[in-house]
Structures are given as C-alpha cells and as structure tokens.
Amino acid sequence: MIEMFEYDFMQRALVAGVFIAILASVSGTFVVLRRYSLMSETLAHSALVGVAVGLVAGYNPLWVAVVAAVLAAWLIEYLRSAFSLYSDAILSILLSGSLAVAVIIVSVGGSFNNSLFSYLFGSILSVSYEDVLTIIVFGTASLIFLLLFSKELYFIAYDEEVAKTSGIKVAFLNFLLVTVVAIIIALSIRVVGSLLIGALMVIPTVAALQYRVGFRNTMLISLFFALFSVFFGMGLSYYFSLPSGATIVLCVIAIFIFSLVINKK
C-alpha cells in the first residue's frame, strides 16, 4: 500500500483525507449529539451553491463554498429562532433550494461538466496544493475551536437549558458551532463530495455510540473509525479504480454495521 503514496496527488489526497477525517469525526460527535445530523446534509448542498458560483465566476470553488455554507448555517439558525417552523422542514427546504440554485447557476454559466461532478461525489485526483492549504488553514482553526469549547458544547448537547442557567453562553456557542460545522463541510466536499460528506460526519459517531462508553472515548473511537475509513477507502479506491468518496463512505457504513451487530443487546 506504500507505493501509492509515491505519487504527488496521492500524498495531497492523504494529507487532505486525514485532516477531513479528524474534522468530520470530532465535529460529528457534537453534530449527532445535538441532533444536527440532517443539518450537515443541508449545509453540504448549500456549499454546492458556492462551488457553482466559484466554477462560473472563476474563483476557487472551495473558498466560495466555505462562504456559502456559513451563510446557509446562519440562515438556518435565524429561521429557527425567528419563525415557528419545524426545523427539519427548514432543513429540507434549504437542501433542495440550494441544489436547485446551484444547478441553475452552473447550467446558465455553461459549466455543467465534470468539475461539478467531482464536487458532488468527491475526487482524490483533483485535490490541488491550494485545496490542501485551504483545508489545513481553516481546518486547524475549526479544530482549535472545537477542542477549546468541547466541555461547554458537550454540556449544551446534553441539556441546553441547564447549561444556560449555569451561565454558559448557549446562543453564542450554538452560533459558533454551526459556523464551524459549515466550514468543515465545505472543506470536505473536495475529498468526499457534497452528497457524501454527511455520512463521514455522522456515521463514525453513530457507530462509536454503539460501544456505550463515556464522551471522550466515544469521540476517540469515532476519530479512529473515520481515519481508518479514509485510509482504507483511499487504498481500495486507488487499487480498484473506485470513486474515492463513495468508497470511504461504504467503509464507514461497514464499520457501523459491524459495531451495531457486535454490540447488540
């Protein structure tokens, strides 16, 4: 398996993949516990609007995707607090709405081609140096935030109201969390693809939860599952010429099924 990393593009993919695995699983723990799983799917689709704008206007799609996903996250939080709408309905509306906007932008701009396809399903081959740099810079900042506030976010996930009454700035931290999740999702679509990133964020944590261990261990198990899936998925994808994002997601689903079966009560 070593020789595949002799290629420059595989080295880039590896660095990006490891970063994404760490980011997706650590943030995924909070996403799942806060019941934000569906939100990750919606943000991934919103990021596509950014990709579309980037492709048509000639900016780096990844950067614009980060902006689009963050704006969508804020819009969701605003709609949740300002209107009495069901939150899953809001997510569903925004999900299809974003996709529709992205498709129209790309088709009007005449760039409905392979590059959009690679953002939908992820493509290891197309990870550039600039992408790796973007992932490292934004990813490190997001990770630092998550680790700094992990005990507060954990408390909020368990009991938002009691956290609030104990003096924790719940509204502010919620806002930061969705912002960071949006950034991580946008960064991940290069490697895993926007249709598949939700899986990498949610499934490792759901698999880890099956082991019924405390918070820290759940996060560590989830991290291990995500890293393993990225490595193994990339290996399979290289040797059998399979699409990288889909292969990684199938690996993590296999781990989930395994975890579910061996921990059955």
Partner 1 sequence: MQLNFRVPIFDVKNLSFEVRGQKILSNISFEVYNGEYIAIIGPNGGGKTTLIRLLLGLEKPSAGEIKIFGKKLANFKEWYKIGYVPQRASLVDENFPATVEDIVKMGRTARRGIFANFSKEDKEYVKDAMVKMDILHLKDKMVGTLSGGQRQRVMIARALASSPEILILDEPNTGVDVKSQHRFYTLLKKLNREDNITILFITHDIGVIADDIGRLFTINQKATICNDPKKTLSCEDMSELYGIEAHLLHKHKHEH
* Interface residues toward partner 1, by CB under 8 A: 33, 148-149, 151-152, 154-155, 157-159, 161-168, 208-209, 212-215, 217-218
The nearer residue to partner 1, 1 or 148, going by C-beta atoms, is 148
The nearer residue to partner 1, 133 or 212, going by C-beta atoms, is 212
The nearer residue to partner 1, 24 or 191, going by C-beta atoms, is 24
Q: Least distance from C-beta 160 to partner 1, angstroms?
A: 10
Evaluate whether 190 touches 208 at the Cβ level (below 8 Å).
Answer: no
Q: Least distance from C-beta 166 to partner 1, angstroms?
A: 4
The nearer residue to partner 1, 224 or 231, going by C-beta atoms, is 224
Q: Least distance from C-beta 161 to partner 1, angstroms?
A: 6
Q: Least distance from C-beta 264 to partner 1, angstroms?
A: 14
Q: Least distance from C-beta 171 to partner 1, angstroms?
A: 12
The nearer residue to partner 1, 133 or 148, going by C-beta atoms, is 148
Q: Least distance from C-beta 177 to partner 1, angstroms?
A: 13
The nearer residue to partner 1, 137 or 148, going by C-beta atoms, is 148
For residues 31 and 57, what is the distance between their CA atoms, to the nearest angstrom?
32
| Rg, Å, the chain Cα set | 18
